[in-house]
Amino acid sequence: MTPPRAERGAALLTVLMLVSVIGVIAAASLERLKLQTHLSGNMAAIDQARHYALAGEAIARTRISDVSSTDRTTTLAGDWLDRPNAFPIDNGTATAKLSDAGNCFNLNSLVSQSDEGERVVRAVAVRQFEALMTLIGVQPRIAGEIAQSAADWIDSDTIPQPGGAEDETYARAPTPYRAANALMADVSELKAVAGMDSAIYDRVKPWVCALPVAELSPININTLRRDQAPLVVMLLPDRLSLAFAQRMIDERPATGYSAVENFWSKPALRGISPPVEVMAQTKIKTRWFALEMQIETGGAELTELALIDGGVNPAKIVRRSWGDGA
């Protein structure tokens, strides 16, 4: 018996709807498969890029170990400082740049640390940090408050320095928090310090670092660039001017200074006698190096920043970060 025409039409409509649904499902499945294939390929490329970066680390550590174990000084010889070096790799390029990671204000120098781990505010470092911020355009009053508060952020006690801040201050924030009372692991911690805002942080960030030691900033007078003259002035802010420090860098011997005393005994510095601790933080050899790796391969891009300790043999990685801006 032949079904009525209406039933045949309904059946045909049902078939068409099923075909349409199956088509949509198939299309969605195909797109999902394409996405999974793309993600798998991208992950493989990123993994490959990471291996290239680690290989670059190994080469840098070996080179730093060789130089540090044989040379008494670290100078600009060889034009190595902050110079990008590009190397071809499979399906891409690797670029490496090495910098002197000690030519900065070490935020962790704001305290001295005992063998038992007790951290006490170091007044000379607080003055240096305040002077540096003032030199780069931060208002003196605000610079003083930030310097004291940053020291309080790291030291072991909960008693604020004059103009500083401890837990009581941070407890009044819209979202309360506490001072770390520990060495800074990254300069970004400075954002949480009382008195700091985004504008001041952006101004200060290029000048500071968080070395993993509570030691005064190890300023290498042989590798300083002219634009880094404020790092010299901060050592003796009451005795040195920016123009004078720039001239001292301009007049540096082509082969660098062979001894720290040769720098401080220059005729232009006659009559200036730096304290023992300032003399000790003035260096002619670099211990800390910053390695920046940019890897482009297979459509993937990867950035690595690594801090290398060249004061041990072999040199070792003490910190690394991955990603944009690392």
Q: Name which residue leads in pLDDT, 318 or 326.
A: 318
Instruction: Average the pLDDT over 268-288 and give the result.
Output: 92
Q: Is the pLDDT of residue 289 over 50?
A: yes
Query: Is 100:291 a contact under the CB 8 Å cutoff?
Result: no
Q: How confident is the model at residue 33 (pLDDT cuts 50, 70, 90)?
A: very low
Crossing angle of helices 140-154/123-135, nearest 10°?
Answer: 140
> What Å distances lie between residue 143 and 2, 187, 194, 196, 201, CA to CA?
95, 16, 11, 9, 11
Q: Which two tokens stand for residue 87?
A: 């190397």
Question: Hey, CA dihedral for 15, 16, 18, 19, is it positive or negative?
Answer: positive
**Most confident among 10-24, 46-60, 145-159 (mean pLDDT):** 145-159
Residue whose entry in the numeric block shows the structure tokens 């690595």: 304
**Gyration radius from the chain CA atoms:** 29
Percent share of the chain, pLDDT over 90 = 71
Instruction: Give the per-residue pLDDT at 35.
Output: 44
Instruction: Give the per-residue pLDDT at 211.
Output: 98
Instruction: Average the pLDDT over 193-222 and give the result.
Output: 97
Q: Which two tokens stand for residue 124?
A: 């000379």
From the candidate CATH numbers 3.30.1780.10, 3.30.1300.30, 1.10.510.10, 3.30.230.10, the one assigned to the domain spanning 50-101+287-322: 3.30.1300.30
Q: How confident is the model at residue 164 (pLDDT cuts 50, 70, 90)?
A: very high
Query: Is 72:256 a contact under the CB 8 Å cutoff?
Result: no
Instruction: Give the per-residue pLDDT at 143.
Output: 98
What is the C-alpha to C-alpha distance for residues 11 and 5, in angstroms, rounded to an integer?
10
Q: 212-239: buried (b, 16+ CB within 10 Å) or exposed (e) per residue?
A: ebbbbbbbbbbbbeeebbbbbbbbbbee
Instruction: Give the per-residue pLDDT at 7.
Output: 52
Taking all residues of the chain, what is their mean pLDDT, rounded to a whole number? 88
Class of domain 105-216: mainly alpha
Q: Is the pLDDT of residue 232 over 60?
A: yes
pLDDT tens digits for 80-136?
Answer: 999 999 989 888 999 999 999 999 999 999 999 998 889 999 999 999 999 999 999
What is the C-alpha to C-alpha distance for residues 101 and 228, in angstroms, rounded to an integer?
13
Beta bridge partners of 320: 306
Q: Is the pLDDT of residue 21 over 70?
A: no
What is the C-alpha to C-alpha distance for residues 76 and 258, in angstroms, rounded to an integer?
13
Q: Name which residue leads in pLDDT, 9 or 132.
A: 132
Query: Is 146:138 a contact under the CB 8 Å cutoff?
Result: yes
What is the C-alpha to C-alpha distance for residues 305 and 105, in angstroms, rounded to an integer?
18
Instruction: Give the per-residue pLDDT at 273.
Output: 86
pLDDT tens digits for 40-89?
Answer: 546 788 888 888 899 999 999 999 998 888 889 999 998 899 999 998 98
Instruction: Average the pLDDT over 173-188 and give the result.
Output: 96
Q: How many CA atoms lie within 13 A of 111 on its CB side?
A: 25
| 311 residue type, one letter | G
Ordered by start, the domain boundaries in the chain are 50-101+287-322, 105-216
